[in-house]
Amino acid sequence: MSGDRPSKDGGTPQGPLSEDVHLTLVGGPEEYGRSPVGPVRYIAYCNPAGAIGYLWMAADGSDNAGCIPSREQGYRAINALGFWIERMREAKARGLTPEQALNWLLDSQVGGMPFPGRVLPRSGGEVESLDTLRAQIKALPEVKEPPYLCTYAYSRRIVESDGRQRLLVPKITDDMRKSTVLAPGKRMIAIDPEYPLFSSVPVPREGIVGDWQIDQDGGFGDFVRNRHYRPTPTAVGMLRAENTVERAVQLRLLGRITEDELLKELRSAQVLVPVEDDGSTPRLRERGPGGRPFLLMYTGARHAPQGGEHCRWMNAAEVAGRMINLDIEIDEGSAACLDIAASKVAVSPFG
């Protein structure tokens, strides 16, 4: 049934299907032109097996740019194409010229292995036209990937029966296994999550967790730890710091800064302090019945109860000076909770 109602005079039935159809042309996302005149420059985007496609731009500076898949990698190249089209559209939406777009894609690597690949520096060149690039894509120089793969690794620990902590081997994910199938004989390097995976600046030695050797079947060998690795707050499960004092607390807990460096940051900081109903007197907490009271401080509203509703922003050194004989607990309940004596935080009146 159409749902149309017969008209009272026996004419044309009236209803939603009898109304005139009005078509509205809707614009799509902004894109670069795809009809360059003359030479084009190109650069490869790659997975561990080599180039899966090429980003190109008109050499004459006109607003023409795009991407071409490498048929040599079959479905992998086709699957990756949509990702790179979207990245080019994002560059256009940012108002970037084609040359700026290619530089931006090189500097802001996202995604992973084996899809959609990443832009590889020094993998480009120039040909006389876009048609030439399409025709000669199989004959382009072989793109050489680095002899290793990269992945992020988070520090997982267990506590032994004697109380000592043991660092576990980073977890091997399905995406990592897919990557190694394309990279037999290479190494998979585990990087601390606060360092960029893809950058022209090498990851420092203390940012490398360790690595696996990949066998000829793409399987993982034993994990070899880097004894110089120093975990960052993010790696051990702490929230990314919202301010410098929160960052200083995190780094102190990991032993990456001294107590004096922490105190220098803390004394000048504004912190949230729970207060009594008068809105100014710090509210103290006791550690169990009859326990010694202590003072709470929070580096930000996300750590405070009810988002800091019953707290007040105060200078840490000033409030510590009023509670000179107590201990302070900073960011209670968080992964970066730290205890410190108020006498250390307070600024001496004698300088």
How much of the chain exceeds pLDDT 90, in percent?
A: 43
| 55 and 135 co-located in one domain | yes
| 170 and 190 co-located in one domain | yes
**Domain ends where: 139, 171, 187?**
139
| 308 and 217 co-located in one domain | no
Per residue in 42-81, pLDDT (tens digit) is: 988 887 777 888 999 999 999 999 999 887 778 888 888 8
Stated pTM of the model: 0.62
Cα distance between residue 241 and residue 255, in whole Å: 16
| 85 and 128 co-located in one domain | yes
CB of 343 within 8 A of CB of 310? no
Pairing of strands 187-191, 148-152: parallel
Vertex 40 angle, CA 96 and 109, to 5°: 45
Burial of 229 per CB tally in 10 Å (0-12, 13-18, 19+): buried
| 115 and 157 co-located in one domain | no
Is 34 part of any domain?
no
| 249 and 317 co-located in one domain | yes
CB of 247 within 8 A of CB of 233? yes
**Domain ends where: 106, 139, 172?**
139
CB atoms within 10 A of CB 315: 16
Cα four-point dihedral sign 285, 291, 293, 295: negative
Cα distance between residue 116 and residue 118, in whole Å: 7
Amino acid at 168: L
Per residue in 99-125, pLDDT (tens digit) is: 999 888 877 766 555 557 778 777 788
Is 29 part of any domain?
no
Q: Which run of H or of E encompasses 181?
A: helix 174-181
| 192 and 212 co-located in one domain | yes
Pairing of strands 220-225, 165-167: unpaired
| 160 and 207 co-located in one domain | yes
CB atoms within 10 A of CB 318: 12
The CATH number of the domain holding residue 331 is: 3.40.1350
Mean pLDDT for the chain overall: 84
Burial of 232 per CB tally in 10 Å (0-12, 13-18, 19+): buried
Is 98 part of any domain?
yes
Burial of 211 per CB tally in 10 Å (0-12, 13-18, 19+): buried
Whether pLDDT at 264 is above 90: yes
Write down the residue that tokens 């799509």 correspond to.
28
Is 332 part of any domain?
yes
- Provide the number of structural domains found in the chain: 3
Amino acid at 4: D
Is 88 part of any domain?
yes
Burial of 351 per CB tally in 10 Å (0-12, 13-18, 19+): exposed
Asked if the peptide bond before residue 114 counts as cis, ω within 30 degrees of 0, the response is: yes
Per residue in 286-330, pLDDT (tens digit) is: 876 767 889 999 999 999 999 989 999 999 999 999 989 999 999
| pLDDT band for position 350 (cuts 50, 70, 90) | very low
Is 24 part of any domain?
no
| 49 and 93 co-located in one domain | yes
**Domain ends where: 98, 117, 139?**
139
Which of 188, 228, 186 is closest to 204 using CA atoms? 228
Is 72 part of any domain?
yes
| 48 and 122 co-located in one domain | yes
Amino acid at 126: E
Domain hosting 296: range is 244-345
Q: Which residues contact 143 (CB under 8 A, 6 or more apart)?
A: 44, 46, 50, 51, 120, 123
Is 23 part of any domain?
no
| 261 and 321 co-located in one domain | yes
| 223 and 165 co-located in one domain | yes
